[in-house]
């Protein structure tokens, strides 16, 4: 019997972190542990306040058969660029050291976090360890940072793009999570000498997240706890970060200030949450509510508390990033209000499945009109719209299908 190939995943966020990439990569590695010998190099948890104290610079841990090397890092203030840079550079340096300590590596698997440097860890590791490198791109950078004007220094953008283009060309295989992102990869190389690549969608566990009505006991308890019974709930569940234009979207809620039947519920944490809360308080928006991330095992119920889910991206993010919250919403069979560019991966999914309404980013009047349209819609029509998404997911976007594609790529190397 041949020994298992050893794969080292360098992925920053990992169990028990609540970040979307943590949950996806935790499920992926658990499903692959029978096929491969797996080590994960990750930062200590802390994405949304989780705490697993790491006393040493490097500490070993285990999740089933998966060896985890946890790195101790400085705490990060997501509202401070300096704090973010210190955290990222510390992670980059220590993750490289941890990777170099590992022996007998066949494949290094890195993701596009932190921006540029995630891929560079794999490139350096490939050269020094004589291993193969799989580069999984969830967000193209510096394109994503450029879309939200994170910095206007063009020299930095050009240098960063050159480095990440090299990461892609030096990798043995590039993975992207959307068809529009594959187009961006080809454009980076002007459709010449494009690296070997595959499109593998993100996923949710569609056997755990099922369509439930508001009378289901756990959903009903959630609604009662937060005094949301008999409300039409427009929910955003996920990262309240820089790339979603949420600080402007929250301003349109002023249009619904007198509409007591609608509640806008934001579940999650992120860099713009405090600003959103301050705006809601300053404008006395009593129909806006903020809750922290829900426990992973409870998400199946919180998602089903919504009447409509917001799935949004900032203008300029088409082909750069795919909001993975779409899969949980579709699994829950709930209608979607997409604030997305035409031709982006998630816009395609909503249009192909008939599971919602789509408005272009920054079309705030269009967002208001769409919310009003959905609010007035017949309940049977709303339910049918949501279940269209569930059916499409079952036919095209199952967890088993996506993880099977990862397994094929890794075995083929």
Is 1 within a domain?
A: no
Is 241 within a domain?
A: yes
Is 39 within a domain?
A: yes
Task: Examine the domain organization and report whether 325 and 405 are in the same domain.
Answer: no
Task: Examine the domain organization and report whether 197 and 235 are in the same domain.
Answer: no
Task: Examine the domain organization and report whether 135 and 283 are in the same domain.
Answer: no
Is 210 within a domain?
A: no
pLDDT for position 406? 98
The closest of 211, 199, 163 to 345, measured between CA atoms, is 199
Tokens of 220: 């009903």
Task: Examine the domain organization and report whether 168 and 234 are in the same domain.
Answer: no
Task: Examine the domain organization and report whether 142 and 52 are in the same domain.
Answer: yes
Task: Examine the domain organization and report whether 102 and 247 are in the same domain.
Answer: no
Is 195 within a domain?
A: yes
The enclosing domain of 95 has a CATH number of: 3.40.50.2000
Is 147 within a domain?
A: yes
Task: Examine the domain organization and report whether 194 and 224 are in the same domain.
Answer: no
Question: Phi, psi at residue 191, to the nearest 5°?
Answer: 60, 20
Question: Phi, psi at residue 193, to the nearest 5°?
Answer: 50, 45
Task: Examine the domain organization and report whether 41 and 24 are in the same domain.
Answer: yes
pLDDT for position 71? 95
Is 332 within a domain?
A: yes
Distance CA 4, CA 105 (A): 11
Return the HEC string of the chain. Answer: CCCCCEEEEEEECCCCCCCHHHHHHHHHHHHHCCCCEEEEEEECCCCCCCCCCCCCCEEEEEECCEEEEEECCCCCCCCCHHHHHHHHHHHHHHHHHHHHHCCCCCEEEEECCCCCHHHHHHHHHHHHHCCEEEEEECECCCHHHHHCCCCCCHHHHHHHHHHHHHHHHHCCEEEECCHHHHHHHHHHCCCCCCCCEEECCCCCCCCCCCCCCCCCHHHHHHHHHCCCCCCEEEEEECCCCCCCCHHHHHHHHHHHCCCCCEEEEEECCCCCHHHHHHHHHHCCCCCEEEECCCCHHHHHHHHHHCCEEEEECCCCCCCCECCCHHHHHHHCCCCEEEECCCCCHHHHHHHHHCCEEEECCCCHHHHHHHHHHHHHCCHHHHHHHHHHHHHHHHHHCCHHHHHHHHHHHHHHC
pTM across the whole model = 0.90
Task: Examine the domain organization and report whether 199 and 221 are in the same domain.
Answer: no
pLDDT for position 75? 82
pLDDT for position 279? 95
Distance CA 59, CA 25 (A): 20
Task: Give the angle subtended at the CA of 323 by the CAs of 316 and 46, to the nearest 5°.
Answer: 115
The closest of 20, 40, 18, 43 to 30, measured between CA atoms, is 40
Long-range contacts of 149-154 (CB under 8 A, 24+ apart): 150/242
Tokens of 154: 């063009």
Is 251 within a domain?
A: yes
Tokens of 382: 């709303």
Distance CA 137, CA 111 (A): 6
pLDDT for position 151? 66
Q: What total of structural domains would you count in the chain?
A: 2
Q: Which domain holds residue 381?
A: 217-396
Task: Examine the domain organization and report whether 110 and 197 are in the same domain.
Answer: yes
Residues of the chain with pLDDT under 70: 1, 46-54, 78-79, 150-151
Task: Examine the domain organization and report whether 128 and 276 are in the same domain.
Answer: no
Task: Examine the domain organization and report whether 270 and 332 are in the same domain.
Answer: yes
Residues 6 or more apart whose CB falls under 8 angstroms from that of 190 comprise: none
């Amino acid at each position: 019997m041949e020994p298992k190939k050893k794969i080292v995943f360098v992925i920053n966020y990992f169990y028990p972190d609540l970040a979307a990439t943590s949950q996806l990569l935790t499920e992926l590695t658990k499903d692959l542990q029978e096929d491969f010998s797996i080590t994960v190099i990750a930062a200590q948890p802390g994405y949304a306040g989780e705490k697993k104290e790491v006393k040493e610079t490097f500490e070993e841990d285990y999740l089933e058969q998966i060896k985890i090397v946890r790195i101790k890092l400085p705490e990060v203030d997501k509202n401070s660029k300096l704090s973010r840079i210190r955290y990222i550079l510390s992670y980059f340096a220590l993750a490289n050291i941890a990777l170099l300590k590992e022996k007998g590596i066949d494949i290094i698997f890195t993701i596009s976090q932190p921006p540029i440097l995630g891929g560079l860890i794999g490139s350096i590791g490939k050269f020094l360890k004589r291993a193969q490198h799989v580069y999984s791109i969830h967000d193209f950078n510096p394109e994503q940072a450029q879309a939200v004007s994170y910095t206007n220094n063009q020299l930095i953008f050009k240098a960063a793009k050159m480095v990440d283009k090299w990461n892609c060309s030096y990798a043995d295989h590039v993975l992207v999570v959307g068809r529009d992102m594959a187009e961006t990869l080809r454009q980076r190389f002007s459709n010449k000498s494009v690296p070997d690549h595959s499109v593998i969608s993100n996923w949710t566990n569609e056997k755990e997240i099922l369509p439930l009505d508001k009378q289901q006991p756990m959903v009903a308890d959630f609604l009662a706890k937060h005094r949301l019974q008999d409300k039409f709930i427009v929910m955003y569940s996920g990262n309240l970060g820089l790339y979603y234009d949420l600080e402007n979207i929250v301003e349109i809620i002023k249009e619904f200030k007198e509409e007591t039947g609608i509640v806008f519920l934001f579940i999650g944490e992120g860099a713009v949450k405090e600003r959103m809360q301050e705006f809601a308080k300053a404008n006395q928006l009593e129909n806006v509510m903020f809750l922290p991330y829900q426990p992973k095992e409870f998400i199946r119920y919180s998602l089903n508390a919504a009447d409509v889910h917001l799935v949004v991206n900032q203008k300029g993010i088409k082909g750069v990033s795919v909001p993975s919250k779409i899969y949980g919403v579709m699994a829950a069979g709930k209608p979607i209000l997409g604030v997305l560019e035409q031709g982006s991966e998630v816009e395609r999914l909503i249009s192909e499945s008939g599971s919602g309404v789509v408005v272009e980013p920054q079309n705030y009047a269009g967002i208001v009109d769409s919310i009003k349209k959905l609010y007035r819609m017949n309940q049977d029509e709303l339910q049918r719209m949501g279940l269209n998404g569930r059916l499409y997911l079952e036919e095209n976007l199952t967890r088993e299908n996506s993880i099977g594609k990862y397994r094929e790529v890794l075995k083929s190397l």
